[in-house]
Amino acid sequence: MSANTDVLVVGAGPTGLLLAGDLAAAGVSVSVLERRTGESNLTRAFAVHARTLELLDARGLADELIATGTKVESLRLLGRADIDLSELSSRFPFLLVTPQYNTERVLEERALALGVDIVRGAEVIGLRQDADGVDVDIRTGAAVTTRRASYVVGTDGVHSAVREALDLEFPGETAVSSVMLADVRLAQSPADVLTVNASRDGFAFIAPFGDGWYRVIAWDRRNQQPDSAPVELAEISEITRLALGTDHGMRDARWMSRFHSDERQVPQYRVGRVFLAGDAAHVHSPAGGQGMNTGLQDAANLSWKLAATVHGWAPASLLDSYHGERHPVGRDVLHNSGNLLRLALGKSAALRAARGVIAGILTNLAPVAHKLRDTVSGIGIHYPAPRGAHALVGTRALDTRLADGRRLYEALRSGTFVLLSAGQVDGIEAWDDRVTVSAPEDATRTTVLVRPDGYVAWATDGLDPAALRDALGAWCGVAVQQTLNT
């Protein structure tokens, strides 16, 4: 391994692979350290939500991933409330069901094609940082080496070695214990792509791998065992029948295990030159399928900010905005998914009554249902905007059709900011290396500066050239001529 690199990413899961690919695409030298030596079939994530697909679309990957899975246009929550995803204002008005290893494969192929160095069997055992960089101690087999990077990002999961090396707390609690996992064959295919329900004594969830195997997740309130306890197929089959009314002829388990699901969040996503993302920063209950999606969106938020900093044009506060924007999102996901889990598994009469009331509200009150739909899908995520800013600032940019025939998210594949303006834009040539100017197909008075991660940085109704240059300076850093003059 070389002695120096711009960014070391620790963990080759979906979050780390997306981040590394983005950095390499931006011309940043990046290596990924992965403790595992080979592929793992263990996958707990099946749901790829609409906002995540939009971010993958901005990298030219969405259609490839969609081909590996099944589209689901409606989600059933709390046993009786259907959330209609087909009305999402997105190119992807559905939930994609595909095993996590398909997402990892697509992201890894992209990262490797861009020149990312992925080192497997490399375990991080310590790190130290100073004003200029980070030294990372790595065990590879019997050898221990030290590698230096300008920045380090820990995407190494709930048991993050990077988080432990920073001595950061990971406060929270266990949401549900003794959850059983199994890969099985089924004699009868379920009617729905995703099959899930909870009963008084537990819950069961079934999702397809797409190759004749199914992942079953089951929980038995009456039999709580430690993670190390053996699992019998008969136990999983019994609780599945109680929750779903049938076990669909469950047989031929090729793998079974137990795990527990925590709700935790680190207090700081950034410590100096070291960052945390994905499960290293936050873990949630499995309700709503938010975990992997939240991690991928962490990566999309951080990657362009790190690249801008490495290339020397980032505004001083840009890296700090990663924590400021993503920590509240992680907190909301933890809170919302936890509440949903507790309602679904509630045993008391009060919780069962609340479940019925809430399900009725979600079914009959459209504004509430739409809010939940946008929240679960990620479409409703927005970032804080300065007081007095345009209403669009901080919101997700819609995939506008452009005058040149492309869509906005195709234009974002350049990795630059995109300035949408129907009028003539002059005097911004100094930012040509980081801003692409495009005209929307439909004439509009609103000029919008879209960040590389697909959120609105700045907008105005009626273009003021001086205000635009101020916005570009605030978001896109010092202009080229000013850099040269300095």
Please state the rounded mean pLDDT for residues 106-132.
97
Give residue 146's pLDDT: 95
Q: What is the DSSP string of 224-284?
A: ---TTS---HHHHHHHHHHHHS---SEEEEEEEEEEEEEEEE-S-SEETTEEE-GGGTEE-
- What whole-number distance in Å separates Cα of residue 53 and Cα of residue 38? 27
pLDDT tens digit sequence for 263-285: 999 999 999 999 999 999 999 87
Task: Please give the share of the chain, as a percent, with pLDDT higher than 70.
Answer: 89
Hey, how many other C-beta atoms are within 10 angstroms of the C-beta on 234?
9
- What whole-number distance in Å separates Cα of residue 325 and Cα of residue 350? 36
Domain 176-261 has CATH 3.40.50.1100: no
Q: Which ranges of 284-437 does DSSP label H, i.e. alpha helix?
A: 291-310, 320-345, 349-364, 366-377, 408-411
User: Cβ contacts of residue 333 below 8 Å, gap of 6+?
Assistant: 282, 284, 288, 290, 294
Q: Are the CB atoms for 261 and 337 separated by under 8 Å?
A: no
Angle formed at CA 280 by CA 170 and CA 90, multiple of 5 degrees: 120
Could you tell me which residue, 207 or 48, shows the higher pLDDT? 48
Please state the rounded mean pLDDT for residues 17-39.
94
Sign for the CA dihedral angle at 240, 346, 44, 196 comes to: positive
Report the range of poorest mean pLDDT among 93-107, 346-360, 387-401. 346-360
- Write down the mean pLDDT value for the chain: 89
Give residue 398's pLDDT: 96
Three-state DSSP class for residue 466: helix
- What whole-number distance in Å separates Cα of residue 34 and Cα of residue 19? 14
Give residue 458's pLDDT: 97
Report the range of poorest mean pLDDT among 26-30, 89-93, 463-467. 463-467
Instruction: Report the CATH number of the 4-171+264-377 domain.
Output: 3.50.50.60
Give residue 226's pLDDT: 92
Q: Facing residues of 10 across strands?
A: 33, 154
User: Cβ contacts of residue 321 below 8 Å, gap of 6+?
Assistant: 305
Nearest-10 crossing angle of helices 320-345, 291-310: 180
Query: Confidence class of residue 483 from pLDDT cuts 50, 70 and 90?
Result: very low
Please state the rounded mean pLDDT for residues 389-404.
96
- What whole-number distance in Å separates Cα of residue 325 and Cα of residue 270? 12
Token readout for 15 is 């979050």
Three-state DSSP class for residue 447: strand
Sign for the CA dihedral angle at 121, 294, 95, 238 comes to: positive
pLDDT at 403 over 60: yes
> How many residues make up the chain in this entry?
486
Query: Confidence class of residue 76 from pLDDT cuts 50, 70 and 90?
Result: low
pLDDT tens digit sequence for 128-174: 999 999 999 999 999 999 999 999 999 999 999 999 999 999 999 88
Each domain of the chain, given as residue ranges in start order, spans 4-171+264-377, 176-261, 408-485
- What whole-number distance in Å separates Cα of residue 3 and Cα of residue 13? 24
Q: Are the CB atoms for 62 and 407 separated by under 8 Å?
A: no
pLDDT tens digit sequence for 410-462: 999 999 999 999 888 888 898 999 999 999 998 888 999 999 999 999 999 98
Class of the CATH-defined domain 408-485: alpha beta
Give residue 41's pLDDT: 55
Report CA 123 to chain centroid distance, whole Å.
Answer: 24
Give residue 485's pLDDT: 44
386 burial (CB, 10 Å; 0-12 / 13-18 / 19+) is exposed
pTM given for the model? 0.92
pLDDT tens digit sequence for 343-390: 666 666 555 555 555 555 555 556 766 787 888 899 999 999 999 999
Query: Confidence class of residue 40 from pLDDT cuts 50, 70 and 90?
Result: low
Quickly tell me which residue has 């059933």 as its tokens. 76
Give residue 371's pLDDT: 81
Give residue 352's pLDDT: 57
As a whole number of Å, the CA-based R_g of the chain is: 23
- What whole-number distance in Å separates Cα of residue 102 and Cα of residue 61? 12
Give residue 376's pLDDT: 86
Q: Are the CB atoms for 299 and 278 separated by under 8 Å?
A: yes
